[in-house]
């Protein structure tokens, strides 16, 4: 059974960089052709896909967040991470990591994810 667990600070100050890590167990992040996404849900709003790192390390980002977002991985720890720079209160959200069977499924019009983390609340406030 694959499990994903988000971790990181719950409070970030405006203009700082938000950093979160997703630890994966029960499966390798390098197994073809899985793709590992970061998704967020601001209060009262829908889910927003932020970006993905594929099994081969390639990354793709939402155009609206691309200038502020970086996704990386540590294969020795079976983890992938999110960095979101220059945060504002509008970045307050529950942040999720999730797995898709392919990058296309992560990024396509009909996004599909088979495993999710439980989510972690991040608040941007001074």
The pLDDT of residue 63 = 95
The pLDDT of residue 107 = 87
Confidence of residue 108 (pLDDT cuts 50, 70, 90): confident
The pLDDT of residue 78 = 98
What kind and span of H or E run contains 106?
helix 103-107
Above 90 in pLDDT, residue 116? yes
Confidence of residue 99 (pLDDT cuts 50, 70, 90): very high
From the list 121, 126, 111, the residue with the least C-alpha distance to 50 is 111
Q: Is the dihedral of CA 75, 78, 84, 85 positive or negative?
A: negative
Reported residue count of the chain is 126
Neighbours of 53 (CB within 10 A): 25
Q: What does the alpha-carbon distance between residue 90 and residue 97 come to, in Å, rounded to a whole number?
A: 19
**3-state SS, residue 29:** coil
Share of the chain above pLDDT 90, in %: 94
Place of tokens 């999720």: 96
For residue range 13-71, what is the model confidence (pLDDT) as tens digits? 999 999 999 999 999 999 999 999 999 999 999 999 999 999 999 999 999 999 999 99
């Amino acid at each position: 059974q694959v499990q994903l667990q988000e971790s990181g600070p719950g409070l970030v100050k405006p203009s700082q960089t938000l950093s979160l890590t997703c630890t994966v167990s029960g499966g390798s992040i390098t197994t073809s052709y899985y793709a590992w996404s970061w998704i967020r849900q601001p209060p009262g709003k829908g889910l927003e896909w932020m970006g993905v790192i594929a099994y081969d390390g390639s990354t793709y980002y939402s155009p609206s967040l691309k200038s502020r977002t970086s996704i990386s991985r540590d294969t020795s720890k079976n983890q992938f991470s999110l960095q979101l720079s220059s945060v504002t209160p509008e970045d307050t959200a529950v942040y999720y990591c999730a797995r898709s069977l392919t990058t296309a499924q992560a990024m396509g019009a009909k996004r599909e994810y088979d495993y999710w983390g439980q989510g972690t609340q991040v608040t941007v406030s001074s």
